[in-house]
Amino acid sequence: MFIVLRPKTLRIAELRKMQHMVANKLLYYHREDCRLCRSKNLIKVLDLGEQPLAGGFLDQNEFQDEKFFPLRLYFCKDCTLIQNSEIIDKEVLFKHYFYISSASKTGVDHFKSYAEDLNTCFARKKGDNLFIVELGSNDGVLLLPLREFGHNVLGVEPSKNITEIARKKGLAIINDFFTQEVAREIVDKHSKADIITANNVLAHIDDMEEVIKGILILLKPEGILVFEVHYLLDLIEKLQYDAIYHEHFCYHSVIALSKFFEKWDMNIYKVQRVPMHEGSIRVYVKRKENLGRLQEKSVQELIRIERDKQLDNEQTFYGFTQRINKQKEMLNSAIQQIKQKGERIVGYGAAGRANTLLNYCNITYEMIDYIVDASPLRQGKYTPGTHIPIFSIEKFREDNPENVLLLAWSYKKEILEKEYDYRKKGGKFVIPLPMVEII
């Protein structure tokens, strides 16, 4: 079990937190400094209350011991990073994981085209054989298409259950968290990497210093780090508060990322906005000394847009809370109206994002009959906090309820196409975000 150590003299506020932790047998601590620049100049800008772990799917006999943790965001007044400072032990978050990257066609297609892009950009001639290491490789959604281009690929993935899935596909995976030690092991056993990729994982790491030091050990001097992260600008503009949960420690902007890499003598030389997860950025980074004339306009352009939209001003995030509360009211009222008509409503997609939304909006098993989800890992379980049972998609198709709350709204296009027959028969989808609509 994770033990919380508080070596220095405790202030009263800290003592209270400790008492709370002991009473709730919590497995977390509050971090006081900024994860990227180490400044202590942090200010709370959003409070989503006490929430369970978004990936904490349960069996019925586990309801009683369920744990809740404060979910708050802080703004760093020095580097502008938005972050969650309540640190849950990484073993708890990732050793057994419920998200499989290849579960959606959107994901598989996205990573296939990502692999094509990497191959076109960096394999200088046909058949060029690059050594590519992916951090947080999950079930191999990107490694597989990269391997098909003939590259040597290696994944680093801490979750045991997902590593097994990837290994069954014949992929080489180190089943561990990425650290300096893992980086050294890879260099000793293989070589330094031409490319390191890390997608939707840098936001999931608290100790970014350890990771960047590991990257500097593993990457060839002229090597490239390419990663994707959910983009703060899209999160704010599309009201994606459902993407806020304990697993997500950072909410990235180009401004904050640029400052971070500069500190480590690296430079972002190109950024692309990509549609994945309703708005992400793909970021290309090299060591400063080997950058040459690579620097693209895209970096400065996005920094300018972020400044225009005031992502570097904490006031922007206070306004966000008001917009969230309005959406919560609207969603509850839409569900109430459905219930008053005597109609049923079930949920579609029980991912982590669904859990923040359900918990924050107090939508429980009393309002939603059940949720269907494509992942066999979640079927048969209950949603954290709200205790809604999860079944396979077939149940909803057989049952044909009048309404479906599309919790996986960021896969709207794919799901509406897949469930064309349901809508044709008169079924309605309630879309919760970016604004409540019924279609």
Give the residues lining the site for ligand SAM (CB under 6 A): 94, 97, 99, 101, 135-136, 138, 141, 156-159, 162, 177-178, 199-201, 204-205
- Contact indicator for 236, 320 with CB cutoff of 8 Å: yes
Q: Give dist(CA 255, CA 81) in Å, integer.
A: 8
Q: Which is nearer to ligand SAM, 17 or 204 (CB)?
A: 204
Q: Name the strand (E) or helix (H) holding 194.
A: strand 193-199
Q: Which is nearer to ligand SAM, 157 or 194 (CB)?
A: 157
Least distance CB 201 / ligand SAM (angstroms): 4
Show Cβ contacts of residue 406 under 8 Å, excluding neighbours closer than 6 positions. 348, 349, 412, 415, 429, 430, 431, 432
Least distance CB 210 / ligand SAM (angstroms): 8
CB-based closest residue to ligand SAM = 136
Q: Which is nearer to ligand SAM, 214 or 385 (CB)?
A: 214
Q: Which is nearer to ligand SAM, 213 or 344 (CB)?
A: 213
Q: Which is nearer to ligand SAM, 201 or 405 (CB)?
A: 201
- Contact indicator for 53, 62 with CB cutoff of 8 Å: no
Least distance CB 346 / ligand SAM (angstroms): 25
Q: Give dist(CA 167, CA 272) in Å, integer.
A: 31
Q: Give dist(CA 148, CA 138) in Å, integer.
A: 17
Least distance CB 241 / ligand SAM (angstroms): 18
Least distance CB 268 / ligand SAM (angstroms): 19
Q: Which is nearer to ligand SAM, 52 or 155 (CB)?
A: 155
Least distance CB 142 / ligand SAM (angstroms): 7
Q: Which is nearer to ligand SAM, 4 or 108 (CB)?
A: 108
Q: Give dist(CA 409, CA 333) in Å, integer.
A: 19
Q: Give dist(CA 86, CA 71) in Å, integer.
A: 7
Least distance CB 411 / ligand SAM (angstroms): 13
DSSP states of 95-138 as a string? Answer: SS----GGGSHHHHHHHHHHHHHHHHHH--STT---EEEEET-T
Q: Give dist(CA 287, CA 65) in Å, integer.
A: 47
Q: Which is nearer to ligand SAM, 162 or 218 (CB)?
A: 162
The DSSP output letter for 342 is: T
Contacts for 411-417: CB closer than 8 Å, 24+ residues apart: 411/104, 411/106, 411/349, 413/106, 414/104, 414/105, 414/106, 415/348, 415/349
Q: Which is nearer to ligand SAM, 75 or 245 (CB)?
A: 245
Q: Tokens standing for 56?
A: 């904490």
Q: Give dist(CA 46, CA 309) in Å, integer.
A: 18
In whole angstroms, how far apart are CA 425 and each of 190, 251, 397, 402? 56, 40, 11, 10
Least distance CB 275 / ligand SAM (angstroms): 14
Least distance CB 157 / ligand SAM (angstroms): 6
In whole angstroms, how far apart are CA 310 and each of 120, 213, 233, 237? 35, 31, 10, 12
Q: What angle do CA 294, 295, 297 make, to 5 degrees?
A: 135
Least distance CB 97 / ligand SAM (angstroms): 5
Q: Which amino acid is at 415?
A: I
Q: Which is nearer to ligand SAM, 245 or 396 (CB)?
A: 245
